[in-house]
A and B are shown apart, each in its own frame.
Chain A
Amino acid sequence: MTIPPTADVRTTLVSDLDKGFTVLVRAYQPGIYSGALRLTHSREDAQEVAQDTFLRAYTALGKYNDDRILKLKVRPWLWTIAVNLCRTRAKRARPTNPLPPEETLGADDDDHFDDTDWNRRLEALSQTQRRAVVLRHVADLPVNEIAEVTGRPVGTVKADISRGLARLRTIMEAEEPK
């Protein structure tokens, strides 16, 4: 789905919470699921994060007045909730239902990616690098929004992304046949 302009989402939320919330879920849940999948390495956790993020958002939106909703930075707000939920899950024991190997993936999965390889590569990054790289290049967030979500300065986020990508490049070059 094409993501509608944030101002339109906010206006719809103010005029009709349920309709606006439906727009919000359709626009942002796929990105949050994809990002959570790479941050938790678990389909079960990613689904829970992608659902709980929006359930918390819905409860909060029901309590916000119109002015607060109209000033809301929607995507970083949702991602702040999602990243906190991912962090909570990371503190728990290892997932009981980790990503299956490529050959068992369902029909909705891209034939071209290999979960096991990507999990291993992303695990090799520091937590801040992995989060910055996933938010920037999997979830497609701009750097300034990642800075809001993570509470780190823009310059630091850029460095996290740059170092993370360099590390991934090194890992993938080492994987290529000589």
Chain B
Amino acid sequence: MTNIEELLGDLNVTPPVDLERSTLVSAGAADQVATTDSAFGPLWISWSPIGVTGVSPLFACPTVDEFMEVHRRNVYTASRLPADLTDQIDAALEFGTTSEFPVDLRGITEFQGSVLEACRRIESGSVRSYGWIADELKNPGAVRAVGTALGHNPIPLLIPCHRVVRSDGSIGSYAFGSDMKHDLLLSEGAILA
């Protein structure tokens, strides 16, 4: 007679391959990521059930592992973005309507979230200074902290930190280089000093 305990142990089977993924994604503990085209080449865009969680040009993060490393989030690759997000993101990239799509900014500090929300209100074709954002937050002494918060923007391009320049009108730094910031602002019709 075969050992019944062993036979019962054999009933411990591997779950369907997508169960772990669907559980982590449904909970919001992991994001999905897909690529989309833009005027600046293909972009990684990650999202949760709440909204967009991360953006990076492929030239900055050539692999999904590098994207995960930068964004410090577990992601699963999807074949494409959800249709509703695609429309909103296409509009944001083409017309600069960056305040009109859902974002998921969990994991960042309240201050950084406030800085990014203020940044989203800067319209395409306009630029504002770091000091302007500090004033918007009623914290005029926080100019340097605003710069740091923008430097860690997890959703560049879509949260338009490129529209924030130095108070003397010079272009300032950018995660993907000053040249790209310059080109982005020109493509939006901003008048630069």
Contacts and interface: CB of A to CB of B under 8 A. Distances in A.
Q: Do chains A and B interact in one complex? A: yes
Interface of A: 17-19, 21-22, 25-26, 29-31, 33-34, 37-38, 43, 47, 50-51, 54-55, 58, 108-110, 112-113, 118, 133-134, 137-140, 165, 168-169, 172-173, 176
B1 A25 contact: no
Contacts of B2: 172
Interface of B: 1-2, 4-5, 7-17, 19-20, 22-24, 26-30, 73-74
Contact of A33 (B9, B15, B28): B15
A43 to B, nearest CB: 8
Given A133-B8, A172-B1, 4 more contacts: A19-B74, A21-B24, A34-B13, A38-B11
A112 B10 contact: yes
A108 B14 contact: yes
B26 A108 contact: no
A148 to B, nearest CB: 20
A122 to B, nearest CB: 9
Nearest to A161: B5
A115 B45 CA distance: 42
A9 B98 CA distance: 39
Contacts of B7: 113
A140 to B, nearest CB: 7
Given A133-B8, A169-B1, A172-B4, A109 B27 contact: no
A34 B26 contact: no
B1 A54 contact: no
Contacts of B4: 137, 165, 168-169, 172
B30 A34 contact: no
A165 B1 contact: no
Contact of B23 (A18, A51, A112): A51
Nearest to B17: A108
Residue from A19, A50, A137 having most chain B Cβ neighbours under 10 A: A137
A110 B1 contact: no
